[in-house]
Structure 1
Amino acid sequence: MSGAQATAPRRLQNVYVAARQPVKLHDFYTAALGLQLKFNDGERWFQYGIGNTNVSLACLEEAAPAASGLVMVFEVDDFDGAQERITVAGGQVLGMRDMGSHGAVLSLRDPEGNILQLFRRAPPPAA
């Protein structure tokens, strides 16, 4: 590994289901499990606060590339050296997505093919 030091994730930021029919799943999760909606982006993303983390439903367009099932999202302070660390450790970088004022995600596949994302919050707006 070159001089890049791995920075441990701060917390598990989110786990989401890549859903073919997120509205239908939203109806299920609220009715069957009593999840309380924390945030939604139309019919594309439904997010519920559970303890100190989030559980979400994402339409396929919002999910990580090639995602199916559950995806773990780890919040990090930055992406410095992450792509190199991922590939050196046997993973595959799938791409980065800028989400504007929400932040950005770096999607990756672990050595067994599981999809993960690193989430970096956008800096606060200048005062």
Structure 2
Amino acid sequence: MNIELSTTFIAVDDHDKAIAFYRDVLGLEVRNDVGFENMRWVTVGAPTQPDVAIVLEPPIGDPNASEADKKAAAELLAKGLLRGVIFETDDVDATFERIRAAGGDVLQEPVDQPFGVRDCAFRDPAGNMLRFNQRK
């Protein structure tokens, strides 16, 4: 039996800002952009990984959610507490410089970790933590 990652989800509060970041800054391709009941889902992914997708979704996937639930989800998102993604790169220092030069919100500059990677971290426009690893 073989199990592989297919799709992961990241909550965003502004899809247009998220697309600009994930497509224009990170270089991911937009694969799908779907609207339904005043909501929107955008699928992005690395051109080199056609079978792995990241869905940029609303913080709450229920159009009938209460205002209190929407507010609570927005507060968690703003604090970066909903989700995170770790990307792998072949040059973490160049990746860091490219994202920082594009105005990325730096959480951690590149550093060698004791667990065998050199990594850095940013927040995306919605506040989600994104880490970028380079294997040693």
Greater share of residues in helix: 2
Normalising by structure 2, what TM-score?
0.37
**Higher percent of residues as strand:** 1
Structure 1 length as normaliser, TM-score?
0.39
